[in-house]
Structure 1
């Protein structure tokens, strides 16, 4: 198995792919881990590139996954790490993944907001309870009679 280290022998190739097959081909090559991609259009603006929307969607899904992972670790919930990289999902599966990640992120944010509100309410009620106890002690000491 070859590697991408400098001492490894490499061959420069140029691939021409049909747009319909580009995703499947690039994902297969990426899963092999034996390919290094070179940008042949470094002067092209990022927003003018062909697959910029797909890359942004992936970046957004990665952000959501990092947020979920951070919250899971913060609560000390064990996660199973198989150590292997899953296969790239098909484009139609990406839509389902996006929706799932969006739903999970929104639910988790709502849970965190509710937990904060409950903590604030608890502290306010605890403070009121202490005030009531102190006033009860004050009146029980019979300061008025």
Structure 2
């Protein structure tokens, strides 16, 4: 009887695969979820391993997917989650996926930059609109003949004669 803290019995096996079939075999074994892989070359540097470039490409694609997911969640767009892991893509499909992810990431970054520029322009134009409204109120008050004493204190008598003509024209 197995204890609660121990796994089921395992058998250590060593597989020798042709390099052309290695990807398909390892992906099938990984999808079954019944295999645990052990590193037989722990002393080899990470950068000296045979498939380091493929792992880097996968890491980069994962980063792009995380970015897309974060942006989708930020905008509150619902996503379909089936709860199952998709099958590992074939190496020739990886190139297409990589190009698609790159394109989507670039488009999304461009959309975000455009949205930020639009927000900045909107705020600047709103500020200018408020300034124009305040100056219009000021000039409307200055053109009102019943407020002549305020105009005298603001512009002086000579400014009132000269400026009063300008206000009537303006």
Query: TM-score with structure 2 length normalisation?
Result: 0.79
Q: Tell me the CA shift for residue 130 of structure 1.
A: 0.5
Q: SS where residue 11 of structure 2 aligns?
A: coil
**Structure 2 residues not aligned, in runs of 5+:** 142-168
Moved over 6 A (4+): 1-5
* Deviations 1:92-140 (CA, angstroms, capped at 9, x unpaired): 0000000000000000000000000000000000000001111111111
Structure exhibiting the larger radius of gyration computed from Cα positions: 2
- Structure 1's 2 and 133: CA in aligned 2 closer, same or farther, altered over 3 A? farther
* Deviations 1:10-63 (CA, angstroms, capped at 9, x unpaired): 111111111111100110000000111111111111110000000000000000
Greater fraction of residues in helix = 2
Query: TM-score with structure 1 length normalisation?
Result: 0.93
Conserved 8 A contact 1:3-1:34: no
**Structure 1 residues not aligned, in runs of 5+:** none
The equivalent of 2:159 in structure 1 is: none
**Structure with more relative contact order (C-alpha pairs < 8 Å, separation 6 or more):** 1
- Structure 1's 4 and 64: CA in aligned 2 closer, same or farther, altered over 3 A? farther
CA distance, structure 2, for counterparts of residue 4 and residue 41 of structure 1: 32
